[in-house]
Structure 1
Amino acid sequence: MQHKTRTSRHTGASLALLALLALVVIGLFATIWSGLPLPRLPDRVAAAAPANGDMPLPTLAIRSSETKKAVLMQAAFDRIGYSLEAVARGYISVPRVLVANLPPDIDRLDALDGRKTLFLRLMLPVVLFVNEQIGQDRQHLLEIRHAIAGGRQLSDADVQWVLGMADAYDQPDADIDSLLVKVDVIPPSLALAQAIEESGWGTSRIARQGNALFGQFGMAGSGDRDYRVFASLTEAVASYARNLNSHRAYRDLRLMRARMRKREGEIDGWHLAGALTNYSERGGDYVETVRSIMQDNRLEDFDAARLNRMKAATILARADQ
């Protein structure tokens, strides 16, 4: 009885497949009979010789040379369909384009709106990438906490990893719950607003020449206090996030974020900005400026944005390809 059931299922599936093929064939003949042109590949694809490695560049590839000039970077983003409006509406995810540096001529773009749009397109993937890394660390901490609660013994590798996280986040006792307060994401709206304020939409000299986007200070070789410079935009954003997540000046921000996690699960950048009075000598005025930037540019629309899980857009290492 069971054998007959399987046979009938296979027969039904076969008939359905034959019916589908018949529809395709009928449609093909109808197209030919109507005189309409048959679908064809683009010339550059049809002319490619895969055996010789002569495949055309993917539509979503970005040449490294295109990242050197602002207008070329704008055109590249347009070409791969990276639209901030589409991201804000939730229509598309954010392409995984991590540009190392701001185009040095971003300050010379004619239109103010063009500069703003380019800066946000450049920075949003970087902020999301850094948050992605933080999120992975947080998830691992949650798994370790669950293992401890279940009475399981941690491996030596996990113990060493927790100790390393405690050291990185200035947490002396390596307490998991205390680390979870620190190891958490920064809302994109907040990170973008602060980068905008501190770098003048990426047009300041230290932002263009040293990826100094957040006004962080360090010690110069002479011993004087000076702006910190970074090898890449990703390094700059990671340092900024680590600063908010570990420095004692932002303890209130972290506690507020932890309370949001417990109540709603979502983190509100607008309210977190209120805990940034220590970020600038301007105190409350700085907070109001950051919030105005968030509101005027609708940056909270990007808080739900996610990076594309596939490498949808790739920056080619060799500019001549």
Structure 2
Amino acid sequence: MPCSRILASLLLLVSPFVLAGPSLQLSQSLPLPPEQVMQPYPEVSVSMLHSAKELIAAFDGNDYQLTTVEQSKTLPSYFVENLPSDLNALPVSQKTTGFIRLLLPTIKVVNERILLVRDELNRLSAKPKSQWSEAEKRWVQTLSDSYAIQSGEIAELLLHIDIIPAGMVLAQGIDESGWGTSHFAIAGNNLYGEHLPHDGGKFLTTPGGQVKVAAFNDLYQSTASYMHNLNTTRAYKELRLLRQQLRTQKKLTGYELVQSLLHYSSRGQAYVDNLRALIKRHHLDDFDQTRLNTSDSVRYRFSDDG
């Protein structure tokens, strides 16, 4: 069960990061799910930053504003790999809009990769299994293993392999990380309160070691792991069924889907109510229809002394 509030005094323990599920060795035409992408960022030079103020200045200098994104429905490919340690030093309006801006492109690219996998699954469903290539059969089997699906049926895979609306991802990231200011978020890129998975990996822990929380190399891995968790864990079966229903009705939004998160936090309905309030107040569902502009990609990384 993800934790919303844990002691801020923590110790970071390091062990090798483990991807969810085995690596796929397949034809380049068969897309990897986001949690298995080893190098998610574009191959461009990294701009090193030292403070949240520098990031805001970079966004403003490139006219990356939320109002512009809403009007143009276009999101720049500005990927922020980790968090600054001083977001709280910004004025409230800069902190809130800055956090949304730094996370949105990562959410979009993870969801777009999920859609690539869904498109390929839909393509395969249109032809008999007897006509699948060996690579396609292995790809479907590996996906089934990764998403804990025994049937191997495409209909079941499509229930599990689907996007999480940007408004819901943003709201949970805001709530769980305190707008990117918690120790878990800064030291371990853990924006969503994920506990250490059973197969191990990097983790954060309280000094007594009672609580182990997953840590990630970057915000992409954190976001991809969080979505994989929602798409596989038995506790979120209701979420997946509701998502399928909302997709059929063309009503799939963060505001609607968060009602299925009663088991995500010990706060239950109060947690859901807070997520909905965040989505409504900050218009977080307004970004689902944006498209990612990949013509001019930028990468930002905060140095350890930032």
TM-score, normalised to structure 2, is: 0.77
Aligned residue among 79, 88, 96 for 1:107: 88
Aligned residue among 230, 236, 246 for 2:216: 230
Pair 1:173–1:122, CA change in 2 (3 A): same
Which residues in structure 2 correspond to 1:142-181 (within 5 Å)? 142-148=122-128, 153-181=131-159
Contact 1:62 1:313 in 2 (8 A): no
Aligned residue among 265, 272, 296 for 1:280: 265
Distance 1:254 1:316 in 2: 33
Contact 2:82 2:218 in 1 (8 A): yes
Partner deviation per Cα, 1:260-287 (whole Å, 9 max, x = no partner): 22232x5121111100000001111110
Which residues in structure 2 correspond to 1:49-60 (within 5 Å)? none
Quote the residue 2:41 is aligned against: none
Report the CA distance between 1:96 and its aligned residue.
1.1
Aligned pair 1:252/2:238, yes or no?
yes
Quote the residue 2:7 is aligned against: none
Report the CA distance between 1:104 and its aligned residue.
2.1
Distance 1:268 1:114 in 2: 25
Partner deviation per Cα, 1:134-167 (whole Å, 9 max, x = no partner): 111111111111123xx76100000000011111
Aligned pair 1:97/2:75, yes or no?
no
Aligned residue among 47, 71, 74 for 1:64: 47
Which amino acid in 2 is paired with 1:76? A
Q: Secondary structure at the match of 2:77?
A: coil
- Greater helix share, 1 or 2? 1
Contact 1:62 1:76 in 2 (8 A): no
Quote the residue 1:196 is aligned against: 174
Distance 2:213 2:93 in 1: 28
Aligned residue among 178, 187, 191 for 1:209: 187
Distance 1:95 1:315 in 2: 11
Contact 1:80 1:313 in 2 (8 A): no
Aligned length: 251
Q: Secondary structure at the match of 1:96?
A: strand
Report the CA distance between 1:316 and its aligned residue.
7.7
Distance 1:102 1:256 in 2: 32
Distance 1:259 1:215 in 2: 27
Distance 2:277 2:59 in 1: 27
Q: What is the RMSD computed on CA atoms of the aligned residues? A: 2.1
Which residues in structure 2 correspond to 1:112-131 (within 5 Å)? 112-131=92-111
Which amino acid in 1 is paired with 2:253? D
Quote the residue 1:29 is aligned against: none
Aligned pair 1:81/2:67, yes or no?
no
- Structure number with the bigger relative contact order (C-alpha 8 A, sep ≥ 6) is 2
Distance 2:167 2:243 in 1: 14
Which amino acid in 2 is paired with 1:194? Q
Aligned pair 1:298/2:283, yes or no?
yes
Q: Which runs of 5+ in 1 are unaligned?
A: 1-60
Aligned pair 1:314/2:292, yes or no?
no
Report the CA distance between 1:224 and its aligned residue.
4.2
Q: Secondary structure at the match of 1:216?
A: coil
TM-score, normalised to structure 1, is: 0.74
Q: Which runs of 5+ in 2 are unaligned?
A: 1-43, 198-202
**Structure 1 segments (4+ residues) deviating >3 Å:** 219-225
Distance 1:161 1:244 in 2: 21
Which amino acid in 2 is paired with 1:166? S
Report the CA distance between 1:216 and its aligned residue.
0.7
Which amino acid in 1 is paired with 2:185? A
Q: Which one has the largest radius of gyration?
A: 1
Partner deviation per Cα, 1:71-115 (whole Å, 9 max, x = no partner): 1111111122211111122x1511112211011222222x01111
Pair 1:92–1:305, CA change in 2 (3 A): closer
Percent of pairs with identical residues = 36
Pair 1:216–1:63, CA change in 2 (3 A): closer
Contact 1:193 1:299 in 2 (8 A): yes
Distance 1:298 1:241 in 2: 21
